[in-house]
């Protein structure tokens, strides 16, 4: 059996060039669980678990707002609803002004947007997918060409207007969202323990998600050794119930532990059956294992932590696949399990910026 020489396939920019420009043409929000090239790992190689939607809130104009949750192994911030490392995107959406004057925004559907000054329009900021924004006194308002708009006050989401005109308001007690309403109609009610302040349930429509919290270990490096530096509160269980059912529809448990070498782990079970099992590096916070996959990551440069890592994963059969996205130079390299390596390149400067330059594939076969 002879191995054929690599075949080079080159596609010049043309019909496919629109693929790289889609992000600038979208209108409004995706309202879907964020997609990742490898499910469970984000661009810098950290564990990023979403799972499925927790439910949907329905406005009077027919808009459906999904409840999307996320756990990130590198997140030090604590969600007022779900605890350390978690986010409930709809209620925890926030905006932060960077030192360079640009804004970082976590949108209520879970996607991350960046806003920078719009040329020729002082006071206006240009964001992803055609979004524009203006800053005010302790406020930030963004809007899309199709009619969506979102307001944040003191960095936290406070109101939204859908493209159909529904005005959704986030009611708070201090930093904590207590309810989401539209014209006085409750779309989401959050229940809390009066003593601990922890969220105990989310109630929307005829559904309720009951929440339990537990202490999870945070591993630190002290004098070159791993130690459990502290214990923090985080989501440990979520149980879905419907008003017309006596039995729970679904129960998910989130068990945070460490192994003998103090490697952090997260086991997720659904109705008692294991769904996912994660391990991550306690220092770099990068994913090491996801159930049947092992991961290795080449991190971005220390001075450019926002850039994408080169991520490779290997299955039990020893087959590997990888991805390395290099937006600054206009290149993405993907290797699939069958050994095929595809390099996509695009222009990053000049009038053709964002347009496809070429796609090269090395294919090996019998």
Q: What is the pLDDT of residue 28?
A: 60
With 50 as the cut, is the pLDDT of residue 19 above it? no
Give 27 or 132, the one with higher predicted confidence: 132
Q: Is 329 exposed, middle or buried (0-12, 13-18, 19+ CB in 10 A)?
A: exposed
With 50 as the cut, is the pLDDT of residue 3 above it? no
With 70 as the cut, is the pLDDT of residue 8 above it? no
With 60 as the cut, is the pLDDT of residue 261 above it? yes
Q: What is the pLDDT of residue 308?
A: 93
Unique residue bearing structure tokens 């530096």:
229
Confidence of residue 363 (pLDDT cuts 50, 70, 90): low
pTM above 0.85, yes or no: yes
With 50 as the cut, is the pLDDT of residue 291 above it? yes
With 50 as the cut, is the pLDDT of residue 98 above it? yes
Q: What is the pLDDT of residue 27?
A: 61
Q: What is the pLDDT of residue 306?
A: 75
Q: What's the whole-number average pLDDT of the chain?
A: 88
User: Strand 185-192 vs strand 48-49: parallel, antiparallel, or unpaired?
Assistant: unpaired
**Token digits of residue 209:** 């998600």
Cα 109 to Cα 53, 129, 287, 338, distances in angstroms: 11, 14, 23, 34
With 80 as the cut, is the pLDDT of residue 150 above it? yes
Q: What is the pLDDT of residue 303?
A: 80
**Token digits of residue 165:** 């005109």
With 60 as the cut, is the pLDDT of residue 321 above it? yes
Give 130 or 295, the one with higher predicted confidence: 295
Half-sphere exposure for 48 (CA within 13 Å, toward CB):
16
Q: What is the pLDDT of residue 20?
A: 33
Q: Using one digit for the tens of pLDDT, what is the confidence trace for 201-258?
A: 999 999 999 999 999 999 999 988 999 999 999 999 999 998 777 777 899 999 999 9
> What's the rounded mean pLDDT across residues 9-35?
49
Q: What is the pLDDT of residue 273?
A: 96
Taking alpha carbons only, the member of 178, 185, 216 closest to residue 199 is 178
């Amino acid at each position: 059996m002879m191995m054929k020489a690599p075949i080079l396939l080159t596609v010049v920019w043309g019909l496919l060039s629109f693929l790289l420009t889609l992000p600038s043409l979208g209108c409004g929000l995706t309202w879907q669980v964020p997609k990742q090239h490898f499910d469970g790992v984000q661009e810098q190689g950290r564990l990023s678990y979403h799972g499925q939607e927790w439910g949907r809130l329905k406005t009077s104009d027919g808009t459906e707002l999904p409840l999307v949750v996320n756990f990130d192994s590198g997140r030090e911030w604590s969600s007022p609803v779900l605890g350390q490392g978690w986010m409930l995107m709809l209620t925890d959406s926030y905006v932060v002004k960077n030192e360079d004057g640009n804004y970082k925004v976590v949108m209520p559907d879970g996607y991350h947007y960046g806003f920078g000054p719009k040329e020729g329009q002082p006071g206006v900021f240009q964001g992803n997918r055609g979004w524009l924004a203006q800053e005010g006194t302790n406020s930030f308002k963004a809007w899309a060409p199709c009619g969506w708009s979102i307001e944040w006050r003191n960095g936290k989401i406070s109101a939204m207007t859908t493209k159909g005109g529904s005005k959704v308001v986030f009611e708070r007690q201090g930093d904590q969202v207590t309810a989401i309403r539209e014209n006085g109609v409750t779309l989401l009610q959050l229940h809390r323990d009066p003593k601990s302040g922890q969220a105990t349930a989310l109630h929307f429509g005829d559904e309720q998600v009951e929440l339990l919290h537990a202490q999870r270990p945070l591993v630190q490096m002290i004098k070159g050794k791993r130690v459990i530096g502290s214990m923090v509160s985080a989501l440990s269980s979520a149980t879905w119930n419907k008003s017309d059912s006596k039995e729970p529809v679904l129960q998910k448990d989130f068990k945070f532990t460490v192994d003998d070498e103090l490697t952090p782990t997260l086991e997720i079970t659904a109705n008692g059956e294991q769904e996912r099992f994660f391990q991550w590096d306690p220092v770099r916070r990068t994913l090491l294992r996801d159930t049947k996959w092992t991961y290795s990551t080449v991190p971005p440069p220390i001075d450019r932590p926002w850039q994408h890592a080169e991520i490779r994963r290997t299955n039990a059969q020893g087959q590997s696949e990888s991805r390395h996205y290099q937006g600054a130079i206009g290149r993405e390299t993907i290797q699939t399990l069958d050994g095929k390596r595809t390099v996509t390149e695009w222009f990053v400067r000049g009038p053709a910026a964002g347009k496809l330059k070429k796609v090269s594939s090395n294919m090996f076969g019998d």
